Amino acid sequence: MTLRRCLAQLSRRLARSGVHFGHGTDNAGDEAAALLWHVCHLPRQLSARTLNRRLRDSERQQLELLVRRRVQERVPLPYLMGYTWFAGLKFYVDPRVLIPRSPIAELIERRFEPWIDARRVHHIVDIGTGSGCIAIACARAFPKARYRPGRARGG
């Protein structure tokens, strides 16, 4: 089976499964692609020729295992893969952490323009940091700013 054909079949299977999308993808096609790229260690940009490559038996077996867990156990894709993307950065995730997914990522990537003048950002405070993905992405977007962890006051 070619990667192209596998992608189409996987997309249909996920669409029919009734799983929820929203942990990094919002549709069956994107989730199928993310899973296939992960299992086959594909580069982000592919040529048409690459999609004509045949799926290896080991890749097919791993894909089947992950799809079965996704569909039957409803395990979110980032937990299956062990990572997710946020603001263009790859973050390790497992069931102990919430999966980073937020419209804030797009704001950070745009450096909060037009609302904030990036040249005037000197400090970043992160309160209730969770995975730390927002603070890390802000540190990348504002490399001259100092990071100051938020602290609970009182008591």
Entry pTM:
0.81
The string of DSSP codes covering 1-44 is -BHHHHHHHHHHHHHHHT----SS-SSHHHHHHHHHHHHHT--S
- Cβ atoms of 50 and 3 closer than 8 Å: yes
Domain boundaries, the chain: 3-79, 84-149
What are the percentages of helix, strand and coil residues in the chain, rounded to 5? 45, 10, 45
Is residue 39 over pLDDT 90? Answer: yes
Express each pLDDT in 51-96 by its tens digit. Answer: 999 999 999 999 999 999 999 999 999 999 999 999 999 999 999 8
State whether the Cα torsion 144-107-127-129 is positive or negative.
negative
- Cβ atoms of 13 and 71 closer than 8 Å: yes
pLDDT at 149: 59
pLDDT at 152: 47
Please report which confidence band the pLDDT of residue 28 belongs to, taking 50, 70 and 90 as the band edges.
very high
Express each pLDDT in 100-130 by its tens digit. Answer: 888 889 999 999 999 989 888 888 887 777 7
